[in-house]
Structure 1
Amino acid sequence: MLGNLLKMWFMLLDGRVRQIKDIARELEVSERQVKRYKEELAVYVDIESITGKYGGYRLRETYIPFKGLLTEEETELLRYYIDSLDSFPLEEKDKINKIIGKINYSILNKNDNVSNFNEIIPYSTVRMMDENRKNLISDIYKAIVENREVDITYKNNNGKCTKRKVQPYKYITYKGEKYLVAYCLMREDIRYFKMIRIQCYKLLDSIFNRTIDIDNVINQEIHNSVGIFGGKEYKLVLEVSPPMANTISERIWVEDQCVEELEQGEIRFTATMKGGPEIISWILSMGDTVKVIEPLELKDEIGEKLKKMIRNL
C-alpha cells in the first residue's frame, strides 16, 4: 500500500487529469481502492475531483512540499524506486528507508482521519502558493523532522498579530487549507496554525522532545466533531425536510448519530456533536429545510447570528 500511495502521488505530479480507471489499471487495484488512496492523499495534498466523461483526479499544486528536506540524489532515488517497485535493488533499500523516514509524518501517515471532513463547506477554492509560502512550508517540514522550535508571528481570525514560540509536530491539509499542528508555549496547549496566516518565522537551534502523541490528539479532536478543531459540545436534535433530508441521512457526520424517518420524507437527526461555529455554519447551510429542536441555547445562538446577518444586508 505504501508503494501504491507514492506511485499514485507521483502520477499526479505532472498536473494532468488522470482518470480513475487508468490509475487503477497502472496500480493493478480496483477503482474503489483508488478512491480510498485519493482520500488518504487528499489529507496532505490538494487533489481536485474532475467530473464528466474525461474526468478523474488532478493535483492542484504540483509543488513537492518536502523537497527542501531531500537532496537531488534522494529525490531521483525515490522516483526510481516508485518506477521500479517490483525490481528495486536490495542494496538501495536502506537509503530508501532513510528517505521515507524524512517524510513519514506527512502523506504516509494514515492516523488522521481528517479527510472525512474535507467537504463540509465546499464553496471556495484555496489560493495558490507563492514562493515565500513554499519556502515557509519547506522550512516547517524541516523543523518537524529535526524537532526544532520555531518563532512565528501569527495573525488570528480577527486580524490581531501575536508572537509565539511553537514546537511543530505535524503538517496537515484541511478543506484545502494547510495547517501546522504545534504545541504553543504561550498557550501551553496544542494549536492549529493556518499556514497562510503566519506572517514571519524563524527556525531556532533549540531542540524539543516529542512528548505528545499528536495523532491521538487529532483523533480525539475530530471524535464527534464537525471539523478537526473540536469546540463546544451540543446534544443536537434537528428535523430536516427534503431535499436536504436525503443528503443528511445518506452520510455519516459523527459516530453516535441517529436518523429517524418521519412523515413526508422528513427526518429527525440526533447526535452529540462538537464544533461551535462550524456546527452553526453547517446548520445554516441547510437553509429553510432545517428546524433546530434542541438545544435551546443553540437556537438562540443561531437566532442572534441571523439577526446580525439581516442587519448587515
Structure 2
Amino acid sequence: MQISRLFEIVYLLLERRSVTARELAERFEVSPRTIYRDVDALAQAGIPVYADRGQGGGIRLMEQFVLNKSLLSVKERRELLASVQGMQAVREEEVQPLLEKLSSLFGAEREDWIEVDFSPWTSSGELGKYFQLLKEAILNRQVVCFSYSAANGSTVERTAEPHRLFFRGYDWYLLAWCRIRSDFRYFKLTRMRGLATLPEHFEKRNIPERESAYEQPDSQIELTVRASPRMAYRVYDEFPPDFWEKEENGSFLIRFAMPQNEWLYSYLLGYGPELEVIAPPQVREELLERAEKILKNYKS
C-alpha cells in the first residue's frame, strides 16, 4: 500500500507542484505524520521532494524535476505520447488523464500533430454504446447476443464470444466466435441491433488469420463497369489503382469482383446515372429491372 501511495504522491506533485500534508492525509486516509514519513522515504529514494512549513507552505518537488526516463529516447517518448493520443478516438475520458500523467512524467508538452476520430458524421450515439459494451464483454470474457442484418438481406439472432474490436476501411467490426457457425466471424457494429451481454463466461480461443474469419460468399462475380469523371472521388476512395484505367474522356473503366447478392445491386445503384455496367449481361438486366421498379414508385 505504501509503494502505491508514494507513486501517487509523486504524480500529484508533478501535476500540482505543491500540496499540503493535510490534503494528502485526507486523500489517503492516513495521518499527516504518516505523510511526512512518506516524504522522507521519497527523499531517501532520490526524489527531490521537500516540505515548506508554515503559512503558504506545502510539500513540493524541486523545479524542473521529471522522473528518470533514461529507458526511453526522446523519439520513443514522442511516439508513445502520439500513440496514446490516437487512443482518444475511442475513449477520450479514459485516455485524457493518462496523457496528462505521461506528459508530466516525461517533462514534455504534448504536440497535437494528429487527431483521430472514428465516430460517424451522424449524431447517433448507439455505436459508442455498443463499443463500450463490447469492450467490457471482451475484457470480462462475457458472451453477447444480438440481431444481425446479413448482406443477403436476412436478419438472424446471434450468440457470440467476443474477442477483439477491429477497425477496417470505414467501419468497426467485432471479431467473435459465432456459436451458430462454430467458427470465428467478423460482425459489423452498424448492422447489430439489441446488443446485450449474457451472464455466461467463456475461455479465450486462439484467434485465426484475419482473412479466414470473414464470411465467405457463396459466389463471386467478375464485373466491368464504367464510371463518369464526376465519380473520380469514389473511384479513388473505393478501388486500388490497379483495378481501373482512365479513358481519354476522363471516365474510369473498372474491373473487380464482388459477391453476387443484394448488397451488390444496392452498391451499384448508389452510383445512380454516373455508372454503367458493361459486363456481365445478367447484372445489366437485373439493374434495368430494378430501375424500372424504382420508376414505378414515382409514377403511381
Using the alignment, how far apart are the partners of 1:161 and 1:278 within structure 2? 17
User: How many pairs align?
Assistant: 208
User: CA offsets, 1:154-183, max 9 Å, x none?
Assistant: 254769563x32111222457876543322
- 1:192 is aligned to 2:270: no
Q: 1:249 Cα shift?
A: 5.5
- 1:213 is aligned to 2:198: no
TM (norm. structure 2) is: 0.53
User: CA offsets, 1:221-256, max 9 Å, x none?
Assistant: 5xxxxxxx7745221211233323x33554561475
Between 1 and 2, higher relative CO (CA 8 Å, sep ≥ 6) is seen in: 1
| Cα pair 1:7 1:82 within 8 Å, conserved | no
Q: 1:192 Cα shift?
A: 0.8
Q: 1:78 Cα shift?
A: 2.0
- 1:79 is aligned to 2:104: no
| Cα pair 1:167 1:183 within 8 Å, conserved | yes
* Cα distance change on mapping 1:206 and 1:283 into 2, 3 Å: same
User: CA offsets, 1:266-313, max 9 Å, x none?
Assistant: 332222345744443343233223221112232233223323322333
- 1:236 is aligned to 2:223: yes
Secondary structure, aligned partner of 1:212: coil
- 1:154 is aligned to 2:154: no
- 1:257 is aligned to 2:257: no
User: CA offsets, 1:164-212, max 9 Å, x none?
Assistant: 3211122245787654332210233414153674325233343223223
- 1:144 is aligned to 2:138: yes
Using the alignment, how far apart are the partners of 1:289 and 1:156 within structure 2? 28
Out of 173, 177, 195, the residue aligned to residue 183 of structure 1 is 177
| Cα pair 1:257 1:272 within 8 Å, conserved | no
Q: 1:2 Cα shift?
A: 4.4
* Cα distance change on mapping 1:183 and 1:2 into 2, 3 Å: farther
Out of 189, 192, 203, the residue aligned to residue 198 of structure 2 is 203
| Cα pair 2:243 2:254 within 8 Å, conserved | yes
* Cα distance change on mapping 1:125 and 1:249 into 2, 3 Å: closer
| Cα pair 1:149 1:166 within 8 Å, conserved | yes
Q: Hey, what does 2:125 align to over in structure 1?
A: 129
Gaps of 5+ in 2: 1-78, 109-115
Out of 283, 288, 292, the residue aligned to residue 303 of structure 1 is 288
Using the alignment, how far apart are the partners of 2:104 and 2:133 within structure 1? 30
* Cα distance change on mapping 1:288 and 1:196 into 2, 3 Å: closer
Secondary structure, aligned partner of 1:142: helix
Using the alignment, how far apart are the partners of 2:269 and 2:243 within structure 1? 19
Q: Hey, what does 2:254 align to over in structure 1?
A: 269
Using the alignment, how far apart are the partners of 2:234 and 2:155 within structure 1? 37
Q: Which moved more, 1:79-88 or 1:179-188?
A: 79-88
- 1:291 is aligned to 2:276: yes
Using the alignment, how far apart are the partners of 2:274 and 2:236 within structure 1? 16
Secondary structure, aligned partner of 2:229: coil
| Cα pair 1:169 1:181 within 8 Å, conserved | yes
Read off the aligned partner of 1:298 and give its amino acid letter.
V
Secondary structure, aligned partner of 1:187: coil
Q: 1:213 Cα shift?
A: 2.5
Read off the aligned partner of 1:184 and give its amino acid letter.
C
